[in-house]
Amino acid sequence: MKKMDQKAKKKKLSPSAKGTKNFKKMSQLLNAKNFSQKTETPVVLVVCREFLDILGFDDIINDNVRWDKDQWAVSPATLARSIILTPFLRDDKRCPLYRIEEALEGLDLKLLFGGNYLRSDFNDDHLAKLLDRIAEAGSTGLFSRIAANSYVNFKIPVSHIVHADTTSHVFYGECEVCEQEGYEGLNVTHGHSKDKHPELKQVMTGMLTDEYGIPVYEQTLDGNTADSTWFKSAIQYLQGLFGDGCSGYTFIADSKLVNKKNIEVIYGDKDPIRFISRCPSNFNSKTAEKAIKQAYLLNDWEDIGICCEDEKSKRAARYDAQGFVKTIYKNEFRLVVVKGDDAESKVKKSIEKEKQAIVDDVKKSFKEPFSCEPDAEKEIGAFLKKHKNSLFDIKLSVEKVVTEKRSRGRPSKGQKPPTIIEKFVVKLDKLAENEKRVEECKQDKESFVLITNIPVDEENNKQILQDYKKQRVIETNFEELKKPTMVSTIFLEKPERIEALMMLLHVSLLIRVLMRVITRMNLKNESEPPLIDFAGRPLMNPTADKLLRLFSLHSVVTVGDEHIIYSKSGKADHLRKLLELLGLHSETG
């Protein structure tokens, strides 16, 4: 056996004759001096390239960023395009700067960037230099110019509604420059984390969008910036941008907008900007709570029906409303109390959750018996005080438990009588719903108050609610922006590069939103929805993700100077229709 093992070691292993024969032809092809090289480029990247062209992206970047044509092998706009395209390259995780060069492998760079570029032209050193120059030129201003071209160049109706909100982005690293004395740039620091990572440093971003969700303004903010503070600066930005025409726009934001300082800014102009927000519970001596009580007392509700975009949805809630006028800080406001019909399930869940919490707390608080009844009663008092605002009436009782303690072993003559031990056990006797508190809970769950300065003869209660509910568009944008492919986390150590990167990723977001908006607008002109969704279903109100998944079935194959459309589904007519809906294809084109 040992001799056979030694022979096996000396013998050189080689592929089987059959395997060599099978690969002989491939080897001949590989040894040939000339063989064709094929690239496969996702169609969606070509679409993004076209959108950037329509936006006039190159002129805005190249005309405003400092660069030397003799020193730069690739223009700033072309380098910037490589960053903007990366979120469309992969749907599993983010592609960091140092891997963009790697991510471009197998793509037709001439098709995407219009020149004879090499992947090495897009290395991280060049991209880092680009970010420095974009930050120097002013990231926020550059984005606003790019976004402004959306309306004219894509022929999108101008919206007079502006939605505002902020979000946080987790930062991994130290960013020591922010801690240096005298530093005045972007502060990467701890703050209120909307990502639920308070232990990590972060930056914030503020965004303004129109009613369609098209981002028109973005700003990267210090990690500890409060929403209310940024809303104030956003209003001031709009006042400076629109001037006397500011009163023709409606500013919509969440309840952090409503405070005395921001109201003063809104009414700082002769013709104040119109606004809609949710009235916070602590604003102006609990104005919202008083309005809700008044509404339920009057019980003069107006049925305003379904107020969501898709009124045919089975899950759509119906609403009632009552309006009041109140003078606050010397200005007249409308308070719109809104009541939804979807509170029953919310209240039921709250009742079940609180009931279980009380039962668990009884077990925990009275796990051990008490030595005397006064101690037990004292703890019961503390427990009831803790749950005084509960939805339940709680009744606890004290039960005396008597046990005998005898000596160990067999009883002897003259043995002492057993010791009597008294313990006091607390038991839960009754847990009944408090009707008054349950009703108050129902009112709290089903109703809220909107505050606005728009006169009732310009917008009725239903229109006010519909405008406010469109705030969802900016929340959707943040969900897109914070996906792994975009900017779920930040690793750059220079704060100014973070600002520049965030601007370019907002351009990526802008393209995604424009694809959705344009497609939906053009679908409304169709006599019936085209059957180009998956499994031959009709395409109706597609999200950006849906469009990207549909485009992922198609690519451009380049062999030499020839381009061929390759479709995994074999349905090129679907691609033709998608491009048509985006305004990028016509029968004559």
Interval 493-504: pLDDT, tens: 688 888 999 999
User: What is the distance, to the nearest Å, from the Cα of residue 234 to the centroid of all Cα atoms in its chain?
Assistant: 19
Asked if 399 and 425 count as a contact pair (C-beta separation under 8 A), the reply is yes
CA distance 45 to 112: 7
pLDDT category at 192 given cuts 50, 70, 90 is confident
- pTM score, two decimals? 0.83
pLDDT over 90, % of the chain: 60
pLDDT score of 162: 96
Cα–Cα nearest to 148, from 507, 515, 488, 443:
507
Q: What is the pLDDT of residues 326-360, one digit of tens each?
A: 999 999 999 999 998 877 778 888 899 999 999 99
CA distance 238 to 273: 9
Query: What's the angle, vertex CA 138, arms to CA 133 and CA 139, rounded to 5?
Result: 90
CATH entry 3.30.450.20 includes domain 139-310+318-341+453-482: no
pLDDT at 30 over 70: no
pLDDT at 1 over 60: no
Mean pLDDT of 141-155: 95
Question: Phi and psi of 170, rounded to 5°?
Answer: -65, 140
Mean pLDDT of 187-213: 87
pLDDT score of 588: 47
Q: Which residues contact 352 (CB under 8 A, 6 or more apart)?
A: none
CA distance 548 to 543: 9
CA distance 402 to 423: 6
pLDDT at 182 over 80: no
pLDDT over 70, % of the chain: 87
pLDDT score of 402: 81
Mean pLDDT of 46-63: 96
Mean pLDDT of 31-51: 84
Asked if 427 and 318 count as a contact pair (C-beta separation under 8 A), the reply is no
Tokens, residue 505: 């990723």
Greatest mean pLDDT range, 49-63, 180-194, 262-276, 402-416: 49-63
pLDDT category at 575 given cuts 50, 70, 90 is very high
Place of tokens 């009663």: 377
pLDDT category at 533 given cuts 50, 70, 90 is very high
pLDDT category at 77 given cuts 50, 70, 90 is very high
Mean pLDDT of 320-325: 95
Task: Decide the pairing of beta strands 554-559 and 419-433.
Answer: unpaired
Mean pLDDT of 19-47: 73
pLDDT at 585 over 80: no
Asked if 248 and 454 count as a contact pair (C-beta separation under 8 A), the reply is no
Which of 20-34, 96-110, 254-268, 391-405 is the least confident region? Answer: 20-34
pLDDT score of 404: 74
CA distance 575 to 577: 5
Place of tokens 């803790």: 386
pLDDT at 381 over 90: yes
pLDDT at 314 over 70: no
**Between 448 and 90, residue with greater pLDDT:** 448
Q: Which residues contact 383 (CB under 8 A, 6 or more apart)?
A: 361, 362, 365, 366, 394, 396
Asked if 346 and 459 count as a contact pair (C-beta separation under 8 A), the reply is no
pLDDT at 72 over 60: yes
User: What is the distance, to the nearest Å, from the Cα of residue 153 to the centroid of all Cα atoms in its chain?
Assistant: 27
Calculate the dihedral angle through the C-alpha atoms of 188, 193, 198, 204, rounding to the nearest 10 degrees. 0
pLDDT at 392 over 90: yes
Mean pLDDT of 295-304: 93
pLDDT score of 180: 75
- Sorted by where each begins, the domain ranges of the chain are 38-137+526-582, 139-310+318-341+453-482, 345-403+418-443
The CA–CA distances, whole Å, from 458 to 170, 211, 305, 447, 451 equal 42, 18, 19, 24, 15
What does pLDDT average to over the chain? 87
pLDDT at 486 over 50: no
Mean pLDDT of 118-135: 92
CA distance 577 to 315: 31
CA distance 217 to 40: 35
pLDDT at 152 over 70: yes
